[in-house]
Amino acid sequence: MAYISIYDATPLDEHQLTALLQPTDHYWTYCRDQIALDNLHPESEIISVFIGSTVTREIIERLPRLRLIACRSTGYNNIDMAAAREHGITVVNVPSYGERTVAEYTFALLLSLTRKLQATTQAVQAATYDQAAIMGTDLAGKTMGIIGMGRIGRHVAGIARAFGMEVLVYDPYPDETAARELSVELVSLDELAGRSDIISLHSPYTGDNHHLINDAFLSKAKSGAILINTARDELVDTRALIDALRTGRLAGAGLDVLEGEQLLKLDKELQVLNKDTLSGKTSAQSLQLDVLKRFANVIITPHNAFNTIEALERINRTTADNMIRFWYGETPNAVSAPDTRPGKLVIARHGESEWNAEGRWSGTRDVHLSEKGFHEAALLGQAVSDIQFDIAFTSQQIRTFETMSGMLDSIQQFDVPYRRDTALNERDYGEYTGLNKWQVKEKLGEDVFRHLRRDWDYPVPGGESLRMVYERAVPFYRQVILPELLSGKNVLVVSHGNAIRALVKYIEDISDEGIGGIEMLFGSILIYDVDHDGRMQHKRVAHIRTTPPNA
Ligand code: NAI
């Protein structure tokens, strides 16, 4: 079960994600706002954000349990990827959900400009219009220049061809087969600039294409061309764009993304305004937005090209799938994953103790291994000699410590750090401690004796039921051992029959009734691959040759 915090959640996101997560046992909360230092849940193991949220290093460092950032977008440059990698956090995205959606929107912007829809509807409202002023231009016969022919660019090309347009494409990684199939011409960036009536951006922002559309590019553009940007704000130098619009080199621009787009919301604008210091960049962007809004031949929309009910459904479906499958150890759509897979979990029962040899219940009493027990410890080690251990855990009883040391010494892994903890102690047998179990059996009768040894919650006078052992061992496993596994470490746990049964109940998800049938035999070793909840994904059991002690 994961604690999931979902930010930037609209009522539609809530409705769709709740339906998709409902069948799981994850716990999730929604927050309408963008992620910020004051709305973090420190328990979060997964966060999901939309493009408006910026996941900074500081946010990542305030979430100690965070394992996954699920972007509900294709782009992920709103995440501090270096910080995510350093903290072993996986980042997933939604690689495709709206190629047709964005392509359709590209033409919505384009047709609004070429057919002067804004001016036309305003003229109708004013009930006075001059036909010449609202005259448009055809698309058929014009040349469309597409920069970046990936998923979206291809659909734009297809629609443009359907309009009867000629299509030019610039892509540094051109797909010649697709170009042939779509009947488009692959050209250089300069040629595209010089020949296109419409230039449409569909490439990602890669850093080295910062301000790809700049003074130099626009000076080569055909006079009267139209620019459409539904890709990324950083691709266009807004100052150069304003210049080109002012001089008439560009006849119009349709901008769904533009520098400073966050300032299109009044509350963001006010937030910025209320800051003590305003950066030069923010002031310039704010002013440029203001100027652009005054051009009649410019349409600005607020990063809205993806926004259809069908596309949002696809985003939420992929995001839910990303989060659910991650918890089972899969990383579909990972854009950055730590190269650590969970380590191996090896659980061994200690070798025979001196009291085991006599058939006495040791409980939490300290009893050393018998000679046979030391020999068994060496054999247990050799059964897992193929695993290089990074850390070991034992109970506080000396017999598990002696077994662990014997195991590791026998395979010459001398420097493995270890921790001894009461959480892994043997079940406290209370009044029965030190008694011979066969005498106890005779006294209590077969039935009671069986319940006492095997049942989930059978009381022991002055001692612990298995449930009580579970309540200390499993939280320790989840909080202390599991993070070690998830950071890629191979972990050895040497403990006792009942503490191991408690762990196995959790790891293998065994019912309260089912645990009665689970026995941790002397000489057996359990080797698990686990998921992010520490539950079994795969199990192997190794055995050593040993005669059972008098147990
Ligand atoms: P994609 O990854 O399928 O295709 C991108 C194409 O651009 C590839 O063919 C690649 O070779 C090409 N490319 C890479 N660097 C380039 C460069 N420097 N110049 C020209 N082409 C270059 O991406 P997809 O899904 O087609 O998305 C394209 C853009 O659209 C992305 O930046 C994405 O963020 C943006 N987008 C915008 C949305 C909106 O709501 N406005 C919604 C979804 C995506």
Distance 334 CA to ligand 1 centre (A): 17
User: 93 near 73, Cβ under 8 Å?
Assistant: yes
Q: Which of 71, 202, 299 to mutate to test the pocket of ligand 1 (most atoms within 8 A of CB)?
A: 202
Q: CA-to-CA distance for 17 and 211, rounded, in angstroms?
A: 37
Q: What is the per-residue pLDDT across 15-37, written as a single tens digit (0 to 9) for each?
A: 999 999 999 999 999 999 999 99
pLDDT for position 339:
64
Residue with tokens 């990602």: 204
Q: pTM of the predicted model, to two decimals?
A: 0.67
Per DSSP, helices labelled H in 433-533 are 437-444, 446-454, 466-476, 482-486, 497-507
CA of 287 to the centre of ligand 1 (A): 28
Say how far apart CA 182 and CA 121 lie, in whole Å.
35
Q: If you average pLDDT over every residue of the chain, what do you get? A: 93
Q: Which atom of ligand 1 is nearest to the CA of 204?
A: 32
Active-site option among 45, 99, 259, 261? 261
For residue 74, what pLDDT band results from cuts at 50, 70 and 90?
confident
pLDDT tens digits, residue range 443-494? 888 888 888 888 999 988 899 999 999 999 999 999 999 988 987 899 999 9
What are the pLDDT digits (tens) for 200-227? 999 988 888 999 999 999 999 999 999 9
| Residue 148 φ/ψ region, left for φ over 0, alpha for ψ in the -120 to 50 degree band, beta for the rest | left
The answer to whether 238 and 214 are in contact (CB under 8 A) is no
Rounded Cα gap, residues 551 and 162, in angstroms: 82
Cβ neighbours of residue 491 under 8 Å, at least 6 residues apart?
343, 344, 345, 346, 389, 390, 391, 392, 393, 481, 484, 485
The answer to whether the Cα torsion of 214, 215, 221, 227 is positive or negative is positive
Give the chain's largest Cα–Cα span.
108
Are 203 and 228 in contact by the 8 Å Cβ rule? The answer is no
**Nearest Cα to 372, choosing from 522, 147, 169?**
522
Contact assessment for residue 500 and residue 510, using Cβ atoms and an 8 Å cutoff: no
Apex 378 CA angle, 372 and 383, nearest 5: 120
Per-residue pLDDT at 454: 84
Tens digits of residue pLDDT in 99-152 = 999 999 999 999 999 999 999 999 899 888 889 999 999 999 999 999 999 999
Separation between Cα atoms, residue 352 and residue 356, nearest integer Å: 6
Q: Burial-class residue 169 by CB neighbours within 10 Å (0-12, 13-18, 19+).
A: buried
Over residues 288-293, the mean pLDDT reads 94
What is the C-alpha to C-alpha distance for residues 502 and 145, in angstroms, rounded to an integer?
A: 65
Of 216, 222, 229, which is closest to residue 248 (Cα–Cα)? 222
Query: Residue range 338-360: average pLDDT?
Result: 87
Strands 90-92 and 391-394: unpaired
Mean pLDDT of 5-16: 97
- Distance in angstroms (rounded) separating the CA atoms of residues 79 and 53: 8
Q: Are 520 and 349 in contact (CB under 8 A)?
A: yes
320: its two tokens: 């839910």
Q: Is 303 a catalytic residue?
A: yes
> d(Cα 347, Cα 430) in Å, to the nearest integer?
25
Establish whether residue 153 lines the binding site of ligand 1, counting it when its CB lies within 6 angstroms of any ligand atom: yes
- Which residue's CA lies nearest to atom 39 of ligand 1? 305
Q: Is 306 in the pocket of ligand 1 (CB under 6 A)?
A: yes
Annotated active-site residue 232? The verdict is yes
Whether residue 550 has pLDDT greater than 80: no
Q: Which residues contact 56 (CB under 8 A, 6 or more apart)?
A: 80, 83
Pairwise CA distance, residues 75 & 94, whole Å? 8
Separation of 231 CA from ligand 1 center, angstroms? 6
pLDDT given at position 548: 57
